[in-house]
Copies of this chain bind each other. A is one copy, B any other.
Amino acid sequence: MTKFDIKTPSGFPEFTPAQERMRHHWIAVIQRVFEQYGFGPVTTPLVEREENLLGKGGNPKEMYVLKRLHDEAGDTSHSGNALRFDHTVPLALYVARHRNEIAFPFKRYSIGPVFRGERAQKGRFRQFDQCDIDIVGMESLDIKNDALVVAVMVQIFEQLNIGDFIIRINNRKLLIGFFEELLGITDAEEVKAIMDVFDDLEKTKKTDITKRLVALGLKEDDIGKIYGFLEGGDFAALAEGCEENSLFLQGWNELSTVFISLKQMGVNPKRYKHDFSIVRGLDYYTGSVYETNLVNYPELGSICSGGRYEDLASVFTQKNMPGVGISIGLTRLLWQLFDAEILKPVEMSSASYMIIPMDDSEETVAHAYTVARVLREKGAGVDLYLEDGKMKKKFAYAEKLKIPNVVVIGEDEVKENCFVVKEMETGEQKVVKL
């Protein structure tokens, strides 16, 4: 037996060939829609300077730094670098590095792995793919862009055919304004502390949330009002107390613009809704916030989230760059869908034709090559079985890969200069003349 432990390291998942094919199909769909909406690819290095990652929100407890296994004396050129933990900090660095080569508003997508040294547990990974789009403005960015990124994601999830989903939209200015008005809190830190508690509402018992809010100094009466608000209480009644609050009004105008734009864009109104309870814990969101759920599988949590931020890159450049972005947690989502058997991938090959020469004679094999070439020139994916052996073994290969059409090449096909396509599901055969 081998002395090696061949498993992947804990928290670093990989997929089977069939799962990988599905992942690949998903990425193709995601990428195609991103590009149809004018987003271009950006691939930053997986490794950035440690201080740049830490300077913009990196959690030192989860950050992986690189060391060379055997470092030569005095060679420090490999030190101080770490693996990226998201696509946003690299985006901030990218726009700072390439400001003059970029046309703003900059619409970019990034699809690829990020790394977080979390405790490994079921469905939580240390390397996982994120699919991000962002629109970054120079000095300003129209709020209509906050609708555009939602339209993109609706398009993607509809094309991926994963059943009912809904993107829930809120606005943090609206929320902060409300808290200010209702509780008289104007200190941003205090508001943030309260919002962080509410961000846990979906995964925590209400009694625990209440306890934490009381600990922050809130009255039970006010807490009741907030629950009413977050659970979608009557908006008119709510707005009554807030209409003088400028932050509340600004948030309301932004949210209205997003909803009007989505309607004008022709986005299916079943796919999005306003939800007061969406808070999004991350500090840098300042306006629109999004979360997405599968209606029939709420237990999966949010599969696609994001929001508007006022300040992408001020730590790296003096320019003011607001932006809006949204991201699909691809690895986590696929892993969950496979694990819950919501998706059951079976297809293993990109080929729609499997060509099997019956014997090893020069004429048969040459004819098989010709047939493969002709089919590929028509754009089809073609696999060719070149091993010696029994026909049974050759068919077993096509069967295992679930290739839908099999073409067996023998003496007859060579003589007639033709080939016979057998559709495996129906058993139907069709003769094609060359």
Q: Which residues of A contact B (CB under 8 A)?
A: 1-2, 4-18, 20-21, 23-24, 34-52, 55, 60-70, 72, 77-78, 80-83, 93-94, 96-98, 101-105, 107-108, 113, 117, 119-120, 126-127, 137, 140-142, 144-145, 148, 260-261, 264-266, 315-318, 348-351, 354, 362, 365-366, 369-370, 372-373, 376, 379-384, 386-388, 397, 400-401
Contact = CB atoms under 8 A, between A and B. Distances in A.
Nearest to A24: B41
A369 B62 contact: no
A311 to B, nearest CB: 13
A94 B18 CA distance: 14
Given A127-B47, A266-B373, A42 B17 contact: yes
B140 A387 contact: yes
Nearest to A397: B103
26 contacts: A2-B318, A4-B51, A6-B93, A7-B97, A8-B44, A8-B93, A9-B47, A12-B48, A14-B43, A14-B97, A17-B98, A20-B43, A35-B381, A36-B376, A37-B376, A38-B349, A38-B384, A47-B127, A60-B70, A61-B69, A64-B68, A141-B387, A142-B386, A260-B362, A264-B365, A265-B373
Contacts of A137: 387
Nearest to A366: B264
The count of identical subunits is: 2
A194 to B, nearest CB: 29
A42 B19 CA distance: 10
Contacts of A52: 4-6
A400 B12 contact: no
Contacts of A17: 40, 42, 98, 101-102, 108
A361 to B, nearest CB: 12
A14 B119 CA distance: 31
B315 A14 contact: no
Contacts of A35: 350-351, 381
A140 B23 CA distance: 30
